[in-house]
Structure 1
Amino acid sequence: MLTSEGVDGAPDYCLFVASQNTDGGAMPESSNPDIPEPAEFQLEFADLPHLLRAWRAEAGIRLGRGKALPQKEVAQRMGVSERWYRALESGAQVPLTLDTLTLLADALALGPDERTALYWYRLAEVSDEKQSVEDGGGFGRLKDLVDAQTTFPAYLIDHAWNVIAYNPLMAQWFPWVREPEANLMRWVLQDPESREQIVDWKKQAVLYLAQLRFALFRSPDDPTLNALLTGVQHEPVCRELWNAGPRIIAFRQGGRFRLTLPHISQTELVVTAQVLLPAYRPGARFVALMPA
């Protein structure tokens, strides 16, 4: 179906994390230089050491090394001591300024989504995402904005893809939004109807799963996000896509979607999802589906 963001053609960044890696202390380099197949990996949410090992492996691939960048080389690229970097990757409490994170991102050749995840790790503790504000939790005026849209389907979702508001056109296109506790991510990944209405469903499912990974990195203890992950793992196709090669996407904007909605049009619909991120409601997204 639609999306709560979307950039078709944007670079995809894979995160590979060895599920059996339990190294501690000084984090010696693996005796096996080969990079495991994606099926042998899993993403450890909110675990910076696992992410750093994943990104070192991916950096080695991007740079044509055929194996992970050594910790020593990452340290040299950052301009820090190897001991300092080893401590960071072992999980020690190492001070991280934004400048240091920039050096780290450059050293690991991170893409924009990976950088966003890394910066979020530093900023999460000062985020105001859980702060309550006046006006019904900050959604009141945003709901008015949704209601004001009369030309295109529009909707509002929170950080966990729960549908907060929708306009009449959205309900006409996608009647499921009227259901109690309607959730976009759950509909896309678990409802058989979505596989009939979204052209290239599997491609879109991969992108949704990548967004779910980022959301879980930001909020690893969120009950709704974890319930979504549990549901994904019970769907064979989604579980296969989840395990095929972990990918992380922070935000998507302007995605192009092809839809089959016989109750709306006898021909295929092509739309782009235009997304606004409210400044005072981190995680919330206002989305309008516009003709491509």
Structure 2
Amino acid sequence: MHQVNSLGDFIRAHRVATTPEQVGLAGGGFRRTSGLRREEVAALAGLSKGYYARLEQGREKQPSNQVLDALIRVFQLDAEAAEHMYRLARKTCRRQDRGRGIDFESQACPDMVRMIDGWKVPAIIIGPRLDILAENTLCRTLFPQVPPESNVAEFMFLDPAARELYLDWEEMAQPYVAALRASADLDPSGYIMSLVEELYSRSPEFRRFWASYDVTMKMRPYKRYFHPEVGEIELESHHFLVNHTPGQRLITWKAEPDSPSQVALDFLQAKAAEK
């Protein structure tokens, strides 16, 4: 698997994912593939069919802002996906400056590690490759199935224990692939793509999620987990980007007050305090 036409792949994936009904077109009868035809996207965006084809094929490398804005409108991209598309276009225009890409930091900031260690809520810091860079004691107590200092994506797709931990596995897995895709597109060094290629070769589910070219980490607020001591526990997760370390993300969890899940979390907190 090679990633040589990121912008074209992004555009093609969103064309396939956009239905005629979404853009006000009739279904048009039989279609060999799902989504819109190239000529339909070109017409909706005010582009020639040949120019749009060159964009998808990677032969047109300098689309204007007006062209990008038109495609964002046609594909109805959210703000995060639109920003990602702009970054891909600018990266394509500046191949001579690509080098290692974004300078992703592979270690958590020591001050942040000390900060989450003192929190009474589960907290973890993951890197752009979804490596676990730091986690507090309550987080380790809450998710004992996850090996320390492991990689979230490898655990999610390659470890059978993930299907026991995440009771809504597919809803959990797809957003993490989106996060990995967003980071990989902006890092041509191979730092992230080496992991992607391993997962792509070993997991059919990963291949399916990767093909959707979603770069927005969308999760419903509450998710269900299974803990070997307290059973099912429903928690709300919050994701925060760490501004001074590109690609790193802080995640915390909390339970609904006065709920059975809060009782279970209180029990685990007391257990963690004993360690």
Q: TM-score, normalised by structure 2?
A: 0.70
Task: Give the SS at the match of 2:211.
Answer: coil
Match of residue 73 from structure 2: 106
User: How far apart, CA to CA, are the structure 1 residues paired with 2:88 and 2:118?
Assistant: 36
Cα gap change, 1:288 to 1:244, in 2 (>3 Å):
closer
Greater helix share, structure number: 2
Equivalent residues of 1:55, 1:108 under 8 A apart: yes
Match of residue 166 from structure 1: 135
Equivalent residues of 1:190, 1:232 under 8 A apart: no
Higher relative contact order (CA 8 A, sep 6+): 1
User: How far apart, CA to CA, are the structure 2 residues paired with 1:281 and 1:123?
Assistant: 21
* Structure 1, gaps ≥5 residues long: 1-41
1:143 corresponds to 2:105? no
* Aligned pair partner of 1:117 in 78, 81, 84: 84
Match of residue 186 from structure 1: 154
1:262 corresponds to 2:228? yes
> What is the number of equivalent residue pairs in this alignment?
241
* Aligned pair partner of 2:248 in 262, 274, 284: 284
Cα gap change, 1:146 to 1:153, in 2 (>3 Å):
same
- How far did 1:285 drift? 0.2
* Aligned pair partner of 2:126 in 143, 157, 179: 157
Q: TM-score, normalised by structure 1?
A: 0.67
User: How far apart, CA to CA, are the structure 2 residues paired with 1:83 and 1:141?
Assistant: 53
Task: Give the SS at the match of 1:189.
Answer: helix
Counterpart amino acid of 1:47?
A: S
Match of residue 207 from structure 2: 242
Task: Give the SS at the match of 1:268.
Answer: strand
Task: Give the SS at the match of 1:165.
Answer: strand
Q: Over the residues paired in the alignment, what is the CA RMSD in angstroms?
A: 3.5
- How far did 1:270 drift? 0.5
Pairs within 5 Å for 1:189-204: 189-204=157-172
Counterpart amino acid of 1:284?
A: Q
Equivalent residues of 1:46, 1:220 under 8 A apart: no
Q: Deviations over 1:39-94 (max 9, x none)?
A: xxx99675322332333333344445354544444334334444543433332344
68-77 or 271-280: bigger deviation? 68-77
Q: Deviations over 1:180-224 (max 9, x none)?
A: x41122122222222222212244234433443444333354344
1:78 corresponds to 2:45? yes
User: How far apart, CA to CA, are the structure 1 residues paired with 2:209 and 2:152?
Assistant: 23
- How far did 1:169 drift? 0.5
User: How far apart, CA to CA, are the structure 1 residues paired with 2:18 and 2:196?
Assistant: 30
Q: Percent identity?
A: 21
* Structure 2, gaps ≥5 residues long: 257-275
Counterpart amino acid of 2:159?
A: D
Equivalent residues of 1:146, 1:156 under 8 A apart: no
Match of residue 216 from structure 1: 184
